[in-house]
Amino acid sequence: MTTINGSKEMASGFVIRENQYYDSVFLMGINKVLSKAPGVEQTAVLLGTEANKRLLADIGFASPEIDAAQPNDMIVAVIAESAAVVEEVINGFDKTLKAMVARSPVSNIRTLEAGMSYKPDANLAVFSIPGEYVANEARKALESGLNVFIFSSNVPLEEELELKQIGKARNLMVMGPDCGTSIIRGLGIGFFNAVRRGTIGVVGPSGTGLQEFTSQVHNAGGGISHAIGTGSNDLSAGIGGLTTLSAMQALEADPQTEVIAIIAKPLGAKTLASLVDQAKGFTKPLVGCFLGSGKESAGKYEPIQWAYTIDDAVELALRAARIAPKEVAELERGGEGELVVAARANWSPEQKYLRGVFAGGTFCYQAQQILGDAGIQIYSNSPIESDFMLEDPDISRAHTVVDMGDEHYTVGKPHPMIDSTERAKRILVEAADPSVAILLLDFIFGYNASNDPVGELLGALQKAKTMRSKVGGELTIVASVCGTNEDHQDIGLQIKMLNELGAFVFHSNALATAFCRRLLDRS
Amino acid sequence: MENKKADLLQQPLVVINVGLKDFAENLEAQEADVIQVDWEPLAGGDQEMIDLLKDLL
């Protein structure tokens, strides 16, 4: 079934293919091919899940046919400059699909049960299937005695709670839902960096938070015993930190772990009380970074040593593990005070604002903490305080930092850690604003991340700088890199590319943001 | 009751990867013991039918 609507400005259309289930990465691959056709404004290739149908409605696709689509049906939606283009894309879709199917061999194991019969000694099930289905499958895994890692998001909180209660009763670890990163005994799952094994264990709800912590520990000469992702909602009042508490207990019992760190956001009163209660019985040193919690709240977390930034948590953890940090060259070029002066010297009088365009949600959050505490009002699509919520996530105002990993930007599209297309677009939008002086960026390396994070944005960054210099002034680019020299992307080469562009490159988001704070400090 | 959580940190992982193949490939690249499941929804994703089957099976 195909439906096409045309108007003077834009045309749109969709087609639904019943009983054609493919995984989300496969569908994103098709979407990428379709979106590149000339005259196409936007495309989406999604399964007919409830969450996807809501997202389609948000971009203007509402119809009884879409409402009736099942999670096993594939929906192809196209917005283009004319009805002819829409028709052409939809007609060409089958050819693209056929070519991509031919390139993707499938396993003959189609169910969890079949997987368990092939691997009766399995002790971990990893799930990345649509959120609507994952609770049923994860429950079966837990009931069969397997620990679970759930990458899938869009799982209702009550289902998460049920899974975590089963996990608690059966003494099994439930990492997720919406868990991006874990490293167990040196083995990474999801998105992670290549780090050496060592004595520091870490727990946290955010994948990028764990990546920043583990990479920095490695870069400073330390090592990681285990990094346990809990899923983004674990510390919410509804879940009460069930996985966080259980992961910390497991690290306390683990002979390899000497220090336990937690990287999170501020906790509600009840969850905080459970965490502190449990921590009091621990024998190992505890370090915690609760981004956005404010220095005045440090005492509330005792006996956990409170850290202001992820960098501070790394430093405290290394000290507790009696590891003298290796000097990491923080800035690739010269002394910092001179650099601040030099960067500002070329700004035109109208240039005054910072725009952060982030792939990592935790980096967007930590940047707000550092700039906000310096008295700089900062807007975001994911603000620490709701007063600073952007009315339209696509339109920045004054100082703004945007989390491009937010659902708004990832409807049927890959996360910006995997593909920089959406981030490149936003960078050009920000550069076209004459009041913008600074672009703050993060580059995340490691397994499953893009093979060339800097290269993917280089064209857009060069264009942004040229656009700015044509109207007078200079765009200052400040970047942080999250990764290690063991990652496959060749971090040294990636940094070199940024340096050649004239960017200021730092080995952590906290340092890059602190540099921006000094750039903005006119007092 | 078997206690496998201790296994999670104390014994080599044996993994069933249900969904995205990249995760299984990365686990293999790290020399982990992993099996890939190319999962598909039961009963074409029809929730009523799934609930019915759950009661029957």
Q: Are the C-beta atoms of residues A440 and A476 closer than 8 Å to each other?
A: no
Position B53 scores a pLDDT of 56
Q: Are residues A301 and A278 in the same domain?
A: yes
Q: Which residue type occupies A104?
A: S
Q: Do A250 and B23 touch (CB under 8 A)?
A: no
Range of the domain at A48: 2-102
Q: Which helix (H) or strand (E) holds A353?
A: strand A353-358
Question: What phi-psi label fits residue A285: left (phi over 0), alpha (psi between -120 and 50 degrees) or beta?
Answer: beta
Instruction: Quickly tell me which residue has 């020399």 as its tokens.
Output: B31
Q: Are residues A406 and A481 in the same domain?
A: yes
Three-class SS state of A291: coil
CA distance A78 to A38: 12
Distance (Å) of CA A334 to CA A302, A331, A511: 39, 7, 15
* Arithmetic mean of pLDDT, B22-26: 93
Q: Are residues A415 and A494 in the same domain?
A: yes
Q: Are residues A187 and A314 in the same domain?
A: yes
CA distance A146 to A489: 33
Q: Are residues A75 and A118 in the same domain?
A: no
Q: Which helix (H) or strand (E) holds A461?
A: helix A453-470
Interface probe for B, chosen from A113, A187, A195, A258 (most Cβ of B below 10 Å), is A187
Taking the CA of residue A11 and the nearest CA in chain B, the distance in Å comes to 31
Chain B residues whose CB is inside 8 A of the A112 CB are: 16, 18, 37, 39
C-alpha A159 chain-centroid distance: 23
Q: Which B residues 1-57 touch A at CB under 8 Å?
A: 1-23, 26-27, 30, 32-33, 35-41, 44-47, 50, 54
Chain B residues whose CB is inside 8 A of the A176 CB are: none
Higher pLDDT, A345 or B2: A345
Q: Are residues A359 and A413 in the same domain?
A: yes
CA nearest neighbour of A437 among A393, A475, A492, A383? A475
Chain B residues whose CB is inside 8 A of the A105 CB are: none
DSSP structural state of residue A335: -
Taking the CA of residue A19 and the nearest CA in chain B, the distance in Å comes to 6
Chain B residues whose CB is inside 8 A of the A123 CB are: 4, 7-8, 11, 13-14
C-alpha A461 chain-centroid distance: 21
CA distance A313 to A254: 20
Buried b / exposed e over A470-505, threshold 16 CB at 10 Å, is eeebbbbbbbbbbbbeebebebeebbebbeebebbb
Q: Which helix (H) or strand (E) holds A378?
A: none
**Tens place of pLDDT per residue across chain A (523 aa):** 567 776 557 899 999 998 888 887 788 888 888 988 899 999 999 999 888 898 899 888 989 999 999 888 999 999 999 999 999 999 888 888 888 877 766 677 899 999 999 999 999 999 999 888 999 999 999 999 999 999 998 899 999 999 999 999 999 999 999 999 999 999 999 999 999 999 999 999 999 999 999 999 999 999 999 999 999 999 999 999 999 999 999 999 999 999 999 999 988 899 999 999 999 999 999 999 999 888 888 999 999 999 999 999 999 999 999 998 776 655 544 457 788 888 899 999 999 999 999 999 999 999 999 999 999 999 999 999 999 999 999 999 999 999 999 888 887 778 899 999 999 999 999 999 999 999 999 999 999 999 999 999 999 999 999 999 999 999 999 999 999 999 999 999 999 999 999 999 999 999 999 999 999 987 5
Q: Are residues A396 and A472 in the same domain?
A: yes
CA nearest neighbour of A279 among A241, A309, A314, A313? A241
Q: Are residues A227 and A129 in the same domain?
A: no
Q: Are residues A286 and A412 in the same domain?
A: no
Locate A521 and state its tokens.
């400090």
B15 → chain A, closest CA residue:
A124
The residue from A102, A128, A148 where one domain ends is A102
Locate A431 and state its tokens.
């550069």
Chain A residues whose CB is inside 8 A of the B8 CB are: 123-124, 147, 172-173, 184, 250
Chain A residues whose CB is inside 8 A of the B36 CB are: 107, 109
Position A103 scores a pLDDT of 74
Secondary structure E strands in A436-514: 436-444, 476-482, 504-506
Q: Are the C-beta atoms of residues A466 and A504 closer than 8 Å to each other?
A: no
* Residues constituting chain B: 57
C-alpha B5 chain-centroid distance: 16
Q: Are residues A352 and A470 in the same domain?
A: yes
Complex-level ipTM = 0.85
Domain count, chain B: 1
Neighbours of B43 (CB within 10 A): 15
CA distance A503 to A462: 11
Question: What phi-psi label fits residue A149: left (phi over 0), alpha (psi between -120 and 50 degrees) or beta?
Answer: beta
Q: Do A24 and B32 touch (CB under 8 A)?
A: no
Contacts of A448 (CB under 8 A, 6+ apart): A190, A191, A192, A417, A418, B22, B23, B26
| CA within 13 Å, CB half, A425 | 9
Query: What is the longest distance spanned by two Cα atoms in chain A?
Result: 70
Q: Are residues A399 and A508 in the same domain?
A: yes
B35 → chain A, closest CA residue:
A115
Three-class SS state of A21: coil
Average pLDDT over chain B reads: 78
Q: Which of B30, B32, B35 has the CB atom closest to A118's CB atom?
A: B35
DSSP structural state of residue A161: H
CA distance A384 to A378: 10
Q: Which residue type occupies A437?
A: A
The residue from A132, A152, A178 where one domain ends is A178
Interface probe for A, chosen from B2, B3, B4 (most Cβ of A below 10 Å), is B4
The residue from A49, A81, A102 where one domain ends is A102
Q: Do B9 and A21 touch (CB under 8 A)?
A: no
Chain B residues whose CB is inside 8 A of the A111 CB are: 37, 39
Instruction: Quickly tell me which residue has 């890199």 as its tokens.
Output: A481
A126 → chain B, closest CA residue:
B17
DSSP structural state of residue A410: -
Domain count, chain A: 4
Taking the CA of residue B29 and the nearest CA in chain A, the distance in Å comes to 10
B14 → chain A, closest CA residue:
A122
Residue A489's CATH number: 3.40.50.261
Size of the A and B interface in Cβ pairs below 8 Å: 160
Q: Do A128 and B44 touch (CB under 8 A)?
A: no
Position B34 scores a pLDDT of 95
Strands of A181-184's sheet in order across? A187-190, A181-184, A224-229, A197-204, A259-264, A286-290, A305-307
Range of the domain at B49: 5-56
Residue A94's CATH number: 3.30.70.60
Cα-based angle A283, A286, A287 (whole degrees, multiple of 5): 170
pTM (global) more than 0.90: no
Q: Are residues A309 and A452 in the same domain?
A: no
Position A143 scores a pLDDT of 96
Q: Which helix (H) or strand (E) holds A381?
A: none
Q: Which of A24, A119, A127 has the CB atom closest to B14's CB atom?
A: A119
Q: Do B1 and A115 touch (CB under 8 A)?
A: no
Alpha-helical regions (H) of A144-195: 157-170
Cβ burial, residue B50 (10 Å; 0-12/13-18/19+):
middle
